[in-house]
Amino acid sequence: MPEPKLSADRLLLFGATGDLSRRMLLPSLCALDADGLLSPDLKIIGTARSDMDDAEFRNMAREALEQYLPSERRGGMADFLNRLSYQPLDASTLDGFDKLAEKVRENGPGEHGLAIFLSTAPSLFGPTIAGLKHAGLTGDNVRMCLEKPLGTDLESSCVINDAVADAFPEDRIFRIDHYLGKETVQNLLALRFANILFEPIWNSNYIDHVQITVAETVGLEGRVAFYDDAGALRDMVQNHMLQLLALVAMEPPTSFDATAVRDEKVKVLRALREVQASETVTGQYRAGAIQGQAVPGYDEELGPKDGKDSNTETFTAIKAHVDNWRWKGVPFYLRTGKRLPERVTEIVVKFRCVPHSIFEDMGATMLPNRLVIGIQPQENISLSLMAKVPGLGRDGVRLREVPLDIAMPDAFVGQHRRIAYERLLLDLIDGDQTLFVRRDEVEAQWQWVDAIRAAWDADGLTPKTYTAGSWGPSAAIALAERDGVSWHE
Ligand code: BG6
């Protein structure tokens, strides 16, 4: 057994007044506190450019909690707010870091250590690390957590990773992919490796193809500059979707620990075959309607852009392959987009047909089994099975697909749904890296994604338009249908 790591008793939040902090981090920490999961010694220090004092920061935090955390999870909010303090900082210069270090050490030095959460513009990563080094905040008892975007391609991500590695060894770096904090994503591992049923048939002998869909109804949500530089491939595929793919495709790890799990994921990511432009589709939404509500097009949300049209993709569909023994010849169809008809994240595993149907002569239609793993908003697992339609069978046997459904909320009544960051923040404080992304994974992800972008550039591919509220350009349907596959909807 590896030695248990000591929990941090100081948490330093960079970007503490920002959107992520107000929507996710502070609410997650408050919810953990309400459940008695934070040590009474833990102090949380916020820092950002805004000039405010402790009381003003606590006020801002209270407003954020009231806005983003359901009231039933806000028990003990006053005690939580008392944990908070604030130090303004311009992270682009070294000047303020000594003061920040003083603030961190206020109320007695942390005995167990410091966890730092960096959710700032990537351009500030380098200067922040330099400042932390200068102020002596990079010692052996300091953990560094990084929020995306970590670069826009392999090269820029290496620059960031090198800067961080200059001050922290990999076993103290925690890279967030918030999908790994989602309960249902972790449940994928339980489904695969805590049941004997699936693993023997989890391969190309029995699986025809896999579909991974991450559909969103939201548009730009005001993140104009960020999103237009990123696009769906970098924003969603490079991280969340490839992590889902890796969890579906990985070999069984020997244990549920950070090295074993991440070793297996990275093998999958490295085995991804380079994709041709013809195996991808890109799209950009135009005005339309979602659930009866009119919504503007991407270009309207974006506003004027030097008089030029943006070529950023808000939708992409990709046919991927994992080139290894287990997955030979099994396509993984990935699709993600903004302004699609519904918010849904799901993984569909379509099995092969039975090799010989004893019912064929009796006119029965056979459908292959299908496992649908709903990640959000519905957390459920549904296995479609063929069953006999009741009847005396005088005109032959009739078969029909029936679902074997497990709705997670019903199976675990009384458990509340947690924000993904609750798990990740707690793991950061406790020093458990299993659900964080290792540098080699990130680099394998970028390498694959960069090659796709290069193929798009080489082919001069520009996004096709789709109406907001539809499932993307019709070419995405054709991408699957060419192989006789229909997207699960
Ligand atoms: C983020 C992307 O990483 O994930 C956003 O930057 C996206 O564009 C979000 O909306 C989706 O997360 P979730 O948890 O709502 O599926």
Mean pLDDT of 87-97: 95
How are beta strands 280-286 and 464-467 bridged, if at all? Answer: parallel
Residue 100 CA to residue 102 CA, distance in Å, equals: 5
Nearest-CA residue for ligand 1 atom 5 is 235
Active site residue 416: no
Of 171, 173, 172, nearest to 160 (Cα)? 173
Of 359, 372, 366, 373, nearest to 401 (Cα)? 366
Of 182, 246, 257, 214, nearest to 420 (Cα)? 182
- CA 316 to chain centroid: 16
Flag whether pLDDT at 126 surpasses 80.
Answer: yes
CA–centroid distance, residue 53 to ligand 1 (Å): 31
Mean pLDDT of 255-270: 97
HEC string of 220-276? CCCCHHHHHHHHHHHHHHHHHHHHHHHHHHCCCCCCCCHHHHHHHHHHHHHCECCCC
What integer pLDDT is reported at residue 108 of this predicted model? 64
Q: Which of helix, strand or coil describes residue 382?
A: strand
Mean pLDDT of 115-142: 93
Mean pLDDT of 420-442: 97
Number of Cα atoms under 13 Å in the Cβ half of residue 412 = 11
Residue 324 CA to residue 337 CA, distance in Å, equals: 28
Binned at pLDDT 50, 70 and 90, residue 121 comes out as confident
Of 318, 316, 347, nearest to 248 (Cα)? 347
- From the CA of 240, give the closest atom in ligand 1: 3
CB atoms within 10 A of CB 273: 15
Mutate to test the pocket of ligand 1, among 28, 68, 152, 178 (most ligand atoms within 8 A of CB): 178
The structure tokens 């799901």 sit at 346
139-167 tens-digit pLDDT: 999 999 999 888 999 999 999 999 999 99
- Which H helix or E strand runs over 116? strand 114-118
What integer pLDDT is reported at residue 2 of this predicted model? 54
- When comparing pLDDT for 366 and 212, which is higher? 212
In terms of Cβ atoms closer than 10 Å to its own Cβ (0-12, 13-18, 19+), residue 415 is exposed
pTM exceeds cut of 0.85: yes
Residues with CB under 6 Å of ligand 1 are 216, 235
349-393 tens-digit pLDDT: 999 999 999 988 887 888 999 999 999 998 899 999 999 999 888
What integer pLDDT is reported at residue 6 of this predicted model? 80
CA–centroid distance, residue 331 to ligand 1 (Å): 25
The structure tokens 């200059």 sit at 166
Mean pLDDT in the chain?
94
Angle between helices 125-134 and 154-165 (to 10 degrees): 10
- What does residue 77 show for φ and ψ, rounded to 5 degrees? -60, -35
- Span between the terminal Cα atoms of the chain, in Å: 45
Mean pLDDT of 178-184: 95
- From the CA of 218, give the closest atom in ligand 1: 10
- From the CA of 182, give the closest atom in ligand 1: 14
Mean pLDDT of 118-137: 92
CA–centroid distance, residue 241 to ligand 1 (Å): 11
CA–centroid distance, residue 426 to ligand 1 (Å): 20
Residue 469 CA to residue 335 CA, distance in Å, equals: 15
Binned at pLDDT 50, 70 and 90, residue 76 comes out as confident
What integer pLDDT is reported at residue 209 of this predicted model? 98
- From the CA of 178, give the closest atom in ligand 1: 14
Cis check for the bond before 377: say yes or no (omega within 30 of 0): yes
Whether 486 contacts 471, CB under 8 Å: no
Binned at pLDDT 50, 70 and 90, residue 221 comes out as confident
Active-site position among 112, 178, 240, 416 = 240
283-318 tens-digit pLDDT: 999 999 999 999 999 999 998 776 678 999 999 999
How are beta strands 332-337 and 344-351 bridged, if at all? Answer: unpaired
Binned at pLDDT 50, 70 and 90, residue 222 comes out as confident
